[in-house]
Amino acid sequence: MSDYINKLPTSVADLEEDAHILHDYEGAVSRWCHGCGDNAILTALQKLCAEEQLPPEKTVFASGIGCASRLPHYMGTYGFHGLHGRALPVAEGIKIKRPDLHVFVNTGDGDCCSIGAAHWLHAVRYNMNMTVMLHDNRIYGLTKNQVSPTSPKGLVTSTTPRGATLQPLNAVAATLGMSNVSFVAQAADWVPGILYDILHLAFLHRGLSFVSILQRCPHYLPGHFDEYIKNPERTLLLTHPNGLQPDEASARRFKSREEHDPADLSRAQALAVMDDKLALGILYRNESIPCYEDMYRREQHLPIEDKIAALEREFDRFTVKPEL
């Protein structure tokens, strides 16, 4: 935070003509509940935009339906509030036609992991250059307390009055097992410094960055994450020169740390399913996975003769020739 403050202009005279301040990224007033973890995510994103000096007119936040999906309304950028589970294909459509835009996706654990699960799988496979944030509060909040795919077993909700019967879906482990995965991280809204650092690294990664953010819901699941909030020793901070490098305050607070190389997929998968600790940091990063929009643009720039020849070859495959 101190480095960020030192970079801020001290007066209006210090501002460049096209410079942006934090206020430029503020949209409507948040309507989330007091204490909702979405507020911390919003703050981190506004800070990220200001730090990277992203032009608001070239920055887009896409979302589906749910508490998390209200975030585009609260950003002073372009936004697209789409249908339930459809945040990712909307974002992909934006990116494929406007690769010059900075594209972010905000999706909830129901929006992404239930109705939008097929889009989630294929978005990872396409590996388009965008930052995807899964706001995982483990409950359907906007529609008033229904069970979600990540709800813990036994949780009593309006749709599971006798307790959830299924084991929760582990979104981090699932993403690490998908084809063409290139960046997976886990953050928590109650550790704002680490949350910002992870989102910053995710933005700088070229490819689809998937960041699962554990996010408190004080209304329907109060105290759900207290075991980690009140006991920092239950958190395992993942550090590495090619990953997260926490500041002194975070290093003092979280004594349990592991030097984890984000290139090690097998270890990342093991960390994702740990029962005794919560791993925060960059679990996996692979810069060699190509982005779909790059391959798409190369195909679009083929000479017209080559396109016609390719079409003719396809037509020939299905031509029904009369018998002589």
Q: Residue 3 domain-assigned? A: no
Percent helix, strand, coil in the chain, to 5, is: 40, 15, 45
**C-alpha span between 306 and 167 (Å, rounded):** 52
Residue 217 reports pLDDT greater than 50: yes
Q: Residue 309 domain-assigned? A: no
Arithmetic mean of pLDDT over the chain: 93
pLDDT at 1: 46
What's the domain count of the chain?
Answer: 1
Question: Burial, 162: exposed, middle or buried (Cβ in 10 Å; 0-12, 13-18, 19+)?
Answer: exposed
Residue 301 reports pLDDT greater than 70: no
State the residue range of the domain holding 75.
16-290
Q: Nearest 5°: CA angle at 7, between 6 and 10? A: 75
Residue 200 reports pLDDT greater than 80: yes
Q: Residue 183 domain-assigned? A: yes
Q: Residue 98 domain-assigned? A: yes
Residue 110 reports pLDDT greater than 80: yes
Residue 297 reports pLDDT greater than 90: no
Share of the chain above pLDDT 70, in %: 93
Split at pLDDT 50, 70, 90, the class of 300 is low
Mean pLDDT of 90-114: 96
Tell me, what CATH number does 202's domain have? 3.40.50.970
Q: Residue 281 domain-assigned? A: yes
Q: Residue 300 domain-assigned? A: no
Q: Residue 215 domain-assigned? A: yes
Q: Residue 253 domain-assigned? A: yes
Residues 241-269: tens digit of each pLDDT: 999 998 888 889 999 999 999 999 999 99
Mean pLDDT of 37-51: 98
Q: Where are the alpha helices (DSSP H) in the chain?
A: 2-7, 38-52, 87-97, 109-110, 117-126, 171-176, 192-204, 226-229, 248-253, 265-272, 292-300, 304-318
Mean pLDDT of 138-142: 95
Mean pLDDT of 81-101: 96
Split at pLDDT 50, 70, 90, the class of 315 is confident
